[in-house]
């Protein structure tokens, strides 16, 4: 019997047009799930679906802004059955409490906090009606330690950690599991874009500097994060709920 099989599972992965979300979608499809790609970018969502199809998997694109509750509810109801929800959509921000504008604070809150709430609001009734479900939320090491210049981002990930515990507690009787993971730095297109914008001509130098902030000496690959998510969403993790798993190259415990 194949372990970590997701055969015949209907999965939703938000933010699956790029980065960690895309890696999760590709891996889930490889393991037999029908993957619903939820992303605000139509081109990116379709590209992920095409890549999955070319590899022999099954996926459907849903263009959806997770900050809009009605859009999320409509998309999830259209999908109909939800076995797994991975809340991967998120944005970052650099700034302290006195340098973060109200507009930037609202943007981070709307995507990283309200976006997950909207997906929970839409998915949980569907999961309750079928008597089971698995939810995985994307937290961060920022919810555990003080990071410089990450005020709004850290706020949002602290909220994700709290929502995870609340959902795990409230729906344990409905056979719905809810966990989160806390990645350290991951090499995604966002990182490349950030370096290009803020350190033109010094991208490689800054990439190496950021990589060395992880005790293990490098950033994670998106697929490495996806492997942990696969485990937590599989039947092999059926006894796990209300937990957060750091996947940070030793950042939280060894960076002292």
What are 77-102's pLDDT values in tens digits?
A: 999 999 999 999 999 999 999 999 99
10-184+222-243 in CATH: which number?
3.40.50.720
The active-site residue, picked from 153, 171, 207, 245, is: 153
DSSP secondary structure letter of residue 217: S
Measure the CA–CA gap between 254 and 251, rounded to whole angstroms.
6
Across the chain, which distance is largest between two alpha carbons, in Å?
55
Every domain of the chain and the residues it spans:
10-184+222-243, 187-219
Q: Is the CB of residue 48 less than 8 Å from the CB of residue 26?
A: yes
Measure the CA–CA gap between 83 and 76, rounded to whole angstroms.
12
- pLDDT at 46 exceeding the cut of 90: yes
Cβ contacts of residue 25 below 8 Å, gap of 6+?
13, 16, 35, 37, 48, 52, 59
Percent of the chain with pLDDT over 70: 99
Q: What is the mean pLDDT of residues 26-33?
A: 98
Measure the CA–CA gap between 129 and 133, rounded to whole angstroms.
10
Q: What is the mean pLDDT of residues 18-35?
A: 98
Measure the CA–CA gap between 156 and 194, rounded to whole angstroms.
19
Task: Kindly report the average pLDDT of the chain as a whole number.
Answer: 96
- pLDDT at 1 exceeding the cut of 60: no
pLDDT on residue 255:
79
- pLDDT at 5 exceeding the cut of 80: yes
- pLDDT at 256 exceeding the cut of 70: no
- Told to judge if 153 belongs to the known catalytic residues of this protein, a careful annotator would answer yes
pLDDT on residue 78:
97
CB-side exposure of 165: number of CA atoms within 13 Å? 6
- pLDDT at 32 exceeding the cut of 80: yes
């Amino acid at each position: 019997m194949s372990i970590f099989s997701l055969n015949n599972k209907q999965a939703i992965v938000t933010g699956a047009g790029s980065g960690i979300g895309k890696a999760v979608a590709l891996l889930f499809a490889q393991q037999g799930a029908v993957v619903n790609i939820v992303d605000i970018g139509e081109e990116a969502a379709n590209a992920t679906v095409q890549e999955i199809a070319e590899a022999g998997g099954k996926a459907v694109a849903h263009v959806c802004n997770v900050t809009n509750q009605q859009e999320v509810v409509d998309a999830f109801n259209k999908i109909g059955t939800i076995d797994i929800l991975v809340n991967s959509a998120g944005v970052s921000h650099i700034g302290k409490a006195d340098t973060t504008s109200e507009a930037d604070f609202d943007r981070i809150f709307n995507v990283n906090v309200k976006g997950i709430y909207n997906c929970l609001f839409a998915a949980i009734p569907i999961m309750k009606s079928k008597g089971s479900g698995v939810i995985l939320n994307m937290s961060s090491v920022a919810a555990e330690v003080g990071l410089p210049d990450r005020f709004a981002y850290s706020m949002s990930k602290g909220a994700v950690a709290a929502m995870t515990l609340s959902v795990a507690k409230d729906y344990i009787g409905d056979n719905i599991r809810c966990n989160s993971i806390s990645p350290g730095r991951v090499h995604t297109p966002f990182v490349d874009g950030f370096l290009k914008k803020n350190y033109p001509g010094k991208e490689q130098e800054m990439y190496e500097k950021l990589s060395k902030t992880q005790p293990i000496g490098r950033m994670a690959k998106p697929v490495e994060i996806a492997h942990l998510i696969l485990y937590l969403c599989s039947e092999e993790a059926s006894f796990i709920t209300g937990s957060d798993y750091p996947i940070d190259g030793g950042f939280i415990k060894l960076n002292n």
